[in-house]
């Protein structure tokens, strides 16, 4: 069976039941949903005579459970015993077993009669069983020959297979030049051609190091080189632009190490170097970035730990001694609640009984967090239940009140109720807001209803309906009075349509069969006319053209539009009739030129230029210094009508833009900004305009935005953020909900109608009345907005348009949609070496989003800063082969991915010590990658997945793994038909902070810990299987100490069948 190994751990509990079929081998798994055993999920897996799973049956989950219909998947094998056709889930009757022939004959009917509702691998003719092609589901892709193709080659001395031979000299400098190449046959090369016919090459040396990744844009090579020293440490990464302009400071990632292999200096392109100092336990104790170094009094960030290696204190000091003028920013508490007797924790909400305190052992129980620029602090407490779930959080806010959240859980640990109480002072009077979420789950444990209660008023916020394949097909808002959103999907479960009374959107993926990039998008908002974007991309997947059309309404069905019913006016009830085509290129956006790092160099934007005229409003040429902006020139003479969205070319000179030593934007003369100042987290502190207007930001030391104050001319407004309650001038303005917000002056509910990217397209009230309509350019600019009543727009992010700022706040950094660029270096820039750290979404804004501005899956733990998400982390000094290779050999699965579970290793110690942070990053990454991972898994002829995903984690990677798997499981629950048959298992070696972790339901989690591990210990992970680490007296924390257990790693015993967890 083909498998994907992921170094993460999962666990689910099931029970074997009596035989369902007397003549076949099977395992039935029952997952209990309540404590009495009256509600459960059944899953049956059938095995052939060789012990291979070939059919899974998920009981009674298709549509109405009372119909007793099942979802069935089929896995076929070829004559060599290799996985072959993996069939998508099939809607079946009540039988516990369905003959393969019946599955094959009935499956197409569930997918619009597509004759290939399965994925199919193609193997090379060799004993290596290597894939040469992988076809996904869909006859259109097969007929067009669109598969992911793989070729296995060797380097030569001719393009595109030649490779420059760089090196590192004895002083750490770069050697080599564009005329020195590797000898032919010295490197192995893997050529990949994706479904969009885009080609890439990966070059690997004999030590297993990737030395070059080459992406082809037609015949143009985009090369990213990786250079290692004699010890195998990564010292340089050269971006594609480096090959055109040899400048290490502008286009290279650079690293230096000490004798112990620890990184002591790191430099990102466009930023000054960061210096690191360690203690004898290899823990990072001091760091200094460029901004700290250039201050009149140089500063260092310091880190203190407890005996278990957990971060207890973080702050800044003036030299390498934490006792020298230290300023404490964060102090963390663990295991107990003695701190609640101290300053700041006096409110009765912080008090716990002795029994409640006992559940905090092994967990972070509280924090004291400084507020930059304010003498106040945040006093935070966590309370846990006996299962280690957070049941209460308490923290103070800037308005002399508290934010208290209490959560209860279902038997399966889903939130059942969440009560949030916000207290604050308004004009000296203490006030409060209390909201309660109540979640209802259907028989498949999917959310079916969300109720919201504000003080004493309860409404049905949303209700979900799923189709027979488990896909979300309808969401009703405010008891269906606000709107009913309908969703449709193609055979690959890609969203193809959203349809409601106030928003209709259709997505087309490729003109025949492509890899998932959106080729065109139609939409209609409210009673406005239809609009369309047609997109084209280059060979690197970067958007080139977004050609816009304003269309009329049509009387009859229109296949191009894709709406199956006639459009009626929601106001008059009459059919709308307009001209078929009104205007071309009204709001077109085109990138005329990128550099090799993905920076936009030339951008043309169309817009409204008069009451009834349209034309080019921006014709931009961007001049860069490295990846950083130097100046922007606009050749267009037209302006946007009515002060609409456009670039304002206010000055024409060099150095219109400037950056600090950390690569943060400090000047934008075209916006009249003469100075931008940042705190030590690289978050903006002050924006100062030429006319002395200012915007001041207040952040907590953990990066939470607490307040923004705008002083524009003689007007001052102050916005305060207290959890999900937003205050203007100290008065509660709105309360954000899961589907929109409540305006607190009139207690009215408002709902966002979102598109495929989470962009807020339409705002409606509880009765379905349209209150706001937004239309977006692909890079996020709002080109038309009716009744601009609220600031959350593109990707659902807050837009600050005051004083012409037009920045979107993504949390980690600010985004300027008019230029398609970030203002700061991506904190995760080292995960995307080939791309400019300022480029938005890899220059593909149509198909990608950035949530926060930042198989066998191997998730590493803490490392020296350069081994993250890399096979180098898993190298063995005393064993052969390396750990990752041995795992893949054991499972006979050589398809793998690598993730950095420690978020930058030692460079991430300012935030990666928090288990919640690692979990959250894993979750975000899982959200980003799960669709791609699932889409590439082999399937049987019914489309059922016939692969397993193994998650292998070490140390800090355990928490990251669980966040990653949480995202995977959520995707599975939302797309059960797409994920049918998948098997998940997590193998957690020396998990760090294990007592604060809980295995993810539905994933077998195997924990391997050594009792002599003085870094992580051997506290059990809740719900994980504690594996026998025999003779571990001399074994410690290193991944090398777990090598001997590989040969006994078990297979996972659970499988996902039609969205249900089934025991194998």
Same domain, 288 and 402: yes
For residue 958, the tally of other CB atoms under 10 A from its CB is 35
Write out the residue range of the structural domain in which residue 338 sits.
275-409
Sign of dihedral through CA atoms 425, 429, 432, 433? negative
Q: Please check the confidence at residue 854 and state whether its pLDDT lies above 80.
A: no
Q: Tens digits of per-residue pLDDT, 377-388?
A: 999 999 999 888
Q: Tens digits of per-residue pLDDT, 101-132?
A: 999 999 999 999 999 999 999 999 988 888 89
- Beta-bridge mates of residue 371: 374, 700
Inter-residue contact 47 to 57 (CB < 8 Å) = no
Tokens of 993: 């902070």
Listed in sequence order, the residues at least 6 apart from 126 whose beta carbon sits closer than 8 Å to its beta carbon are: none
Same domain, 245 and 281: no
User: Which of the four pLDDT bands, split at 50, 70 and 90, describes residue 144?
Assistant: very high
Residue 981 covered by a domain? no
Q: Tens digits of per-residue pLDDT, 440-484?
A: 998 888 899 999 999 889 999 999 998 888 889 999 999 999 899
What is the rounded CA–CA span in Å between residue 500 and residue 250? Answer: 49
What is the rounded CA–CA span in Å between residue 443 and residue 58? Answer: 12
Please tell me the predicted confidence (pLDDT) of residue 477.
Answer: 97
Inter-residue contact 905 to 862 (CB < 8 Å) = yes
Q: What is the percentage of the chain residues whose pLDDT exceeds 70?
A: 86
For residue 929, the tally of other CB atoms under 10 A from its CB is 17
Average pLDDT, the chain: 86
Backbone φ and ψ for 803, nearest 5 degrees, come out as 60, 25
State mean pLDDT over 988-1012.
84
Q: Please check the confidence at residue 6 and state whether its pLDDT lies above 70.
A: no
- Of 370-379, 856-865, 1052-1061, highest mean pLDDT: 370-379
Q: Where are the beta strands (DSSP E) in 700-850?
A: 705-712, 715-722, 725-728, 731-736, 740-743, 748-754, 760-765, 770-776, 782-786, 798-800, 807-809, 814-816, 821-822
What is the rounded CA–CA span in Å between residue 988 and residue 531? Answer: 50
What is the rounded CA–CA span in Å between residue 1011 and residue 1019? Answer: 9
For residue 242, the tally of other CB atoms under 10 A from its CB is 21
Same domain, 246 and 178: yes
3-state secondary structure of 986: strand
State mean pLDDT over 794-815.
95
Q: Please check the confidence at residue 713 and state whether its pLDDT lies above 50.
A: yes
- Beta-bridge mates of residue 707: 698, 720
User: Which of the four pLDDT bands, split at 50, 70 and 90, describes residue 895?
Assistant: low
Please tell me the predicted confidence (pLDDT) of residue 1056.
Answer: 54
Inter-residue contact 749 to 766 (CB < 8 Å) = yes
Q: Tens digits of per-residue pLDDT, 510-534?
A: 655 678 889 999 999 988 889 999 9
Provide the whole-model pTM: 0.80
Closest alpha carbon to 830 in 861, 869, 860: 869
User: Which of the four pLDDT bands, split at 50, 70 and 90, describes residue 857?
Assistant: low
Q: Which of 402-411, 659-668, 933-942 has the lowest mean pLDDT?
A: 933-942
What is the rounded CA–CA span in Å between residue 921 and residue 909? Answer: 14
DSSP, residue by residue, 18-29: S-S-TTSEEEEE
What is the rounded CA–CA span in Å between residue 749 and residue 977? Answer: 34
Q: Please check the confidence at residue 163 and state whether its pLDDT lies above 80.
A: yes
User: Which of the four pLDDT bands, split at 50, 70 and 90, describes residue 69?
Assistant: confident
Work out the burial of residue 539: count CB atoms within 10 Å of its CB; fewer than 13 is exposed, 13-18 middle, 19 or more buried: middle
182 DSSP assignment: P
Tokens of 766: 């509880």
What is the rounded CA–CA span in Å between residue 994 and residue 988? Answer: 10
Pinpoint the alpha helices (H) of 777-831: none
Please tell me the predicted confidence (pLDDT) of residue 978.
Answer: 73
User: Which of the four pLDDT bands, split at 50, 70 and 90, describes residue 981?
Assistant: confident
What is the rounded CA–CA span in Å between residue 138 and residue 119? Answer: 8
User: Which of the four pLDDT bands, split at 50, 70 and 90, describes residue 877?
Assistant: low
What is the rounded CA–CA span in Å between residue 945 and residue 88? Answer: 7
What is the rounded CA–CA span in Å between residue 859 and residue 922? Answer: 10
Tokens of 60: 């009674």
CA distances from 293 to 250, 284, 298, 608, 661 (A): 19, 18, 5, 48, 9
Inter-residue contact 172 to 259 (CB < 8 Å) = no
Inter-residue contact 735 to 433 (CB < 8 Å) = yes
State mean pLDDT over 272-283.
91
Same domain, 331 and 229: no
Name the domain boundary from 409, 436, 457: 409
What is the separation, in whole angstroms, between the first and last Cα of the chain? 14
Q: Which of 68-82, 155-169, 673-687, 900-914 has the lowest mean pLDDT?
A: 900-914
Same domain, 202 and 238: yes
Same domain, 244 and 339: no
Please tell me the predicted confidence (pLDDT) of residue 913.
Answer: 64
Q: Is 416 left (phi over 0), alpha (psi -120 to 50) or beta?
A: alpha
Q: What is the percentage of the chain residues whose pLDDT exceeds 90?
A: 58
Q: Is 834 left (phi over 0), alpha (psi -120 to 50) or beta?
A: alpha
Q: How many domains does the chain have?
A: 2
Closest alpha carbon to 134 in 897, 41, 664, 145: 145
Q: Please write down the long-range contacts of 1028-1036, taking CB distance under 8 Å and 24 or more positions apart.
A: 1035/1010, 1036/1010, 1036/1012
Inter-residue contact 504 to 563 (CB < 8 Å) = yes
Same domain, 247 and 285: no
Work out the burial of residue 443: count CB atoms within 10 Å of its CB; fewer than 13 is exposed, 13-18 middle, 19 or more buried: middle
DSSP, residue by residue, 404-439: EEEEEE-TTS-EEEEEEEEEEEETTEEEEEEEEEEE
Same domain, 187 and 281: no
Please tell me the predicted confidence (pLDDT) of residue 66.
Answer: 54
Name the domain boundary from 228, 256, 284: 256
Name the domain boundary from 389, 409, 429: 409
What is the rounded CA–CA span in Å between residue 899 and residue 905? Answer: 12
Residue 391 covered by a domain? yes
Q: Please check the confidence at residue 1054 and state whether its pLDDT lies above 80.
A: no
Please tell me the predicted confidence (pLDDT) of residue 970.
Answer: 79
Q: Where are the beta strands (DSSP E) in 283-373?
A: 284-288, 300-305, 311-317, 327-334, 364-371
CA distances from 518 to 410, 537, 851 (A): 39, 10, 19
Q: Which residue has the higher pLDDT, 557 or 991?
A: 991
Residue 509 covered by a domain? no
Residue 138 covered by a domain? yes
What is the rounded CA–CA span in Å between residue 1033 and residue 10? Answer: 27
Please tell me the predicted confidence (pLDDT) of residue 1014.
Answer: 66
Please tell me the predicted confidence (pLDDT) of residue 91.
Answer: 82
Work out the burial of residue 21: count CB atoms within 10 Å of its CB; fewer than 13 is exposed, 13-18 middle, 19 or more buried: middle
Same domain, 284 and 397: yes
Same domain, 293 and 371: yes
Rounded to the nearest 10°, the torsion over CA 712, 714, 715, 720 is: 70
Tokens of 634: 């606009």
Largest CA distance in the chain: 84
For residue 51, the tally of other CB atoms under 10 A from its CB is 7
Same domain, 296 and 327: yes
Q: Please check the confidence at residue 558 and state whether its pLDDT lies above 80.
A: no
User: Which of the four pLDDT bands, split at 50, 70 and 90, describes residue 667?
Assistant: very high
271 DSSP assignment: S
Instruction: Scan for tokens 């200096």, then name that residue.
Output: 265
- Beta-bridge mates of residue 786: 773
What is the rounded CA–CA span in Å between residue 438 and residue 417? Answer: 5
Please tell me the predicted confidence (pLDDT) of residue 879.
Answer: 56
Residue 998 covered by a domain? no
Encode 558-574 in three state secondary structure. ECCCCECCCCECCCCCC
Residue 753 covered by a domain? no
Tokens of 743: 């305006």
Please tell me the predicted confidence (pLDDT) of residue 836.
Answer: 97
What is the rounded CA–CA span in Å between residue 198 and residue 215? Answer: 8
Inter-residue contact 555 to 792 (CB < 8 Å) = no
Q: Which residue has the higher pLDDT, 628 or 883?
A: 628
For residue 482, the tally of other CB atoms under 10 A from its CB is 27
Residue 390 covered by a domain? yes
Residue 387 covered by a domain? yes
Listed in sequence order, the residues at least 6 apart from 693 whose beta carbon sits closer than 8 Å to its beta carbon are: 710, 711, 712, 713, 803
Sign of dihedral through CA atoms 312, 317, 322, 328? negative
Backbone φ and ψ for 27, nearest 5 degrees, come out as -135, 130
Same domain, 240 and 287: no
């Amino acid at each position: 069976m083909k498998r994907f190994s992921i170094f993460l751990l999962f666990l689910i509990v099931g029970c074997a039941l009596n035989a369902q079929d007397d003549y076949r081998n099977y395992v039935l798994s029952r997952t209990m949903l309540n404590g009495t055993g009256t509600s459960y999920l059944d899953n049956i897996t059938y095995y052939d005579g060789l012990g291979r799973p070939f059919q899974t049956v998920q009981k009674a989950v298709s549509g109405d459970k009372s119909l007793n219909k099942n979802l069935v998947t089929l896995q076929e094998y070829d004559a060599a015993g290799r996985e072959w056709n993996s069939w998508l889930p099939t809607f079946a009757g009540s039988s516990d077993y369905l003959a393969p022939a019946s599955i094959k004959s009935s499956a197409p009917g569930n997918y619009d009669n597509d004759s290939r509702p399965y994925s199919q691998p193609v193997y090379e003719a060799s004993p290596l069983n290597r894939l040469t092609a992988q076809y996904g589901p869909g006859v259109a892709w097969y007929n067009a020959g669109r598969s992911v193709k793989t070729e296995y080659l060797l380097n030569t001395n001719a393009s595109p297979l030649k490779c420059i031979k760089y090196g590192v000299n004895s002083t750490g400098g770069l050697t080599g030049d564009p005329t020195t190449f590797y000898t032919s046959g010295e490197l192995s090369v893997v050529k990949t051609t994706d479904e969009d016919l885009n080609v890439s090459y990966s070059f690997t040396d004999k030590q297993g190091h990737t030395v070059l990744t080459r992406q082809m844009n037609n015949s143009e090579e985009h090369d990213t080189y990786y250079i290692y020293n004699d010890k195998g440490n990564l010292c340089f990464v050269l971006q594609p632009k480096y090959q055109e302009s040899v400048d290490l400071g502008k286009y290279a990632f650079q690293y230096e190490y000490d004798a112990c292999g620890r990184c002591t200096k790191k430099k990102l392109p466009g930023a000054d170097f960061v210096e690191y100092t360690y203690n004898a336990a290899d823990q990072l104790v001091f760091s200094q970035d460029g901004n700290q170094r250039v201050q009149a009094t140089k500063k260092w960030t310091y880190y203190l730990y407890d005996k278990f290696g957990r971060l207890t204190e973080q702050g800044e000091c003036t030299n390498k001694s934490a006792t020298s003028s230290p300023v404490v920013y964060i102090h963390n508490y663990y295991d107990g609640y003695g701190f609640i007797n101290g300053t700041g924790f006096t409110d009765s909400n912080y008090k716990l009984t002795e029994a409640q305190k006992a559940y905090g052992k092994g967990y972070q129980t509280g924090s004291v967090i400084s507020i930059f620029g304010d003498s106040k602090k945040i006093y935070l407490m966590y309370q846990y239940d006996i299962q280690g779930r957070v049941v209460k959080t308490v923290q103070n806010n800037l308005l002399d009140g508290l934010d208290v959240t209490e959560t209860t859980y279902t038997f399966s640990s889903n939130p059942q109720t969440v009560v949030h109480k916000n207290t604050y002072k308004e004009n000296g009077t203490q006030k409060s807001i209390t909201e309660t979420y109540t979640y209802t789950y259907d028989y498949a444990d999917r959310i079916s209803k969300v109720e919201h209660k504000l003080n004493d008023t309860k409404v049905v916020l949303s209700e979900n309906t799923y189709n027979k394949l488990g896909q979300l097909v309808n969401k009703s808002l405010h008891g269906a009075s606000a709107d009913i959103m309908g969703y449709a999907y193609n055979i690959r479960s890609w969203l193809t349509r959203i349809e409601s009374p106030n928003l209709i959107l259709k997505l087309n993926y490729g003109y025949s069969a492509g890899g998932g990039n959106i080729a065109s998008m139609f939409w209609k908002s409210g009673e406005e006319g239809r609009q369309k974007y047609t997109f084209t991309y280059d060979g690197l997947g970067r958007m080139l053209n977004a050609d816009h059309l304003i269309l009329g309404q049509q009387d009859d069905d229109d296949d191009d539009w894709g709406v199956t019913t006639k459009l009626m006016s929601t106001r008059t009830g009459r059919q709308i009739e307009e001209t078929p085509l009104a205007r071309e290129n009204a709001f077109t956006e085109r990138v005329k030129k990128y550099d090799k790092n993905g920076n936009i160099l030339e951008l043309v934007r169309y817009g409204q230029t008069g009451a009834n005229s349209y034309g080019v409003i921006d014709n931009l040429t961007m001049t860069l210094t490295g990846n950083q902006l130097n100046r922007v020139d606009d050749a267009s003479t037209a302006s946007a009508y009515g002060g609409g969205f456009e670039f304002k070319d206010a000055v024409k000179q060099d150095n219109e833009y400037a950056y600090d030593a950390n690569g943060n934007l400090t000047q934008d003369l075209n916006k009249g900004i003469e100075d931008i100042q940042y705190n030590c987290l690289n978050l903006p502190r002050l924006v100062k305009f030429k006319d002395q207007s200012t915007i001041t930001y207040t952040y907590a030391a953990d990066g939470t935005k607490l307040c923004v104050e705008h002083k524009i001319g003689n007007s001052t407004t102050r916005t305060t953020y207290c959890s999900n309650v937003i205050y203007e001038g100290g008065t509660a303005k709105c309360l954000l909900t899961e589907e929109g917000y409540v305006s607190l002056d009139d207690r009215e509910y408002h709902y966002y109608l979102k598109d495929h990217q989470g962009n807020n397209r339409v705002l409606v009230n509880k009765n379905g009345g349209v209150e706001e309509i937004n239309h977006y350019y692909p890079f996020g600019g709002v080109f038309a907005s009716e009744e601009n009543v609220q600031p959350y727009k593109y990707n659902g992010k807050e837009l600050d348009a005051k004083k012409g700022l037009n920045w979107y706040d993504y949390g980690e950094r600010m985004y300027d949609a008019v230029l398609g660029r970030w203002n700061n270096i991506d904190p995760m820039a080292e995960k995307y070496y080939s791309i400019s750290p300022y480029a938005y979404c890899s220059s593909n804004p149509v198909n990608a989003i950035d949530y926060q501005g930042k198989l066998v899956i191997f998730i590493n733990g803490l490392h020296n800063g350069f081994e993250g998400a890399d096979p180098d982390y898993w190298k063995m000094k005393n064993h052969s082969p390396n750990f990752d290779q041995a795992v893949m050999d054991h499972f006979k699965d050589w398809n793998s991915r690598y993730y950095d579970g420690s978020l930058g290793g030692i460079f991430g110690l300012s935030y990666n010590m928090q288990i919640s942070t690692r979990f959250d990053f894993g979750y975000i990454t899982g959200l980003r990658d799960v669709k791609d991972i699932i889409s590439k898994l082999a399937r049987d002829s019914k489309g059922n997945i016939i692969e397993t995903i193994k998650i292998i984690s070490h140390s800090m990677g355990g928490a990251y793994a669980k966040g990653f798997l949480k995202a995977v499981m959520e995707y599975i629950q939302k797309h059960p038909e797409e994920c049918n048959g998948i098997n998940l298992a997590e193998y957690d070696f020396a998990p760090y902070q294990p007592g604060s972790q809980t295995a993810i339901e539905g994933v077998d989690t195997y924990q391997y810990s050594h009792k002599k591990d003085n870094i992580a210990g051997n506290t059990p992970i809740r719900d994980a299987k504690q594996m026998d680490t025999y003779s571990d007296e001399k074994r410690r924390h290193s991944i090398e100490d777990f090598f001997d257990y590989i040969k006994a790693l078990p297979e996972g015993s659970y499988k996902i069948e039609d969205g249900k967890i089934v025991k194998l």
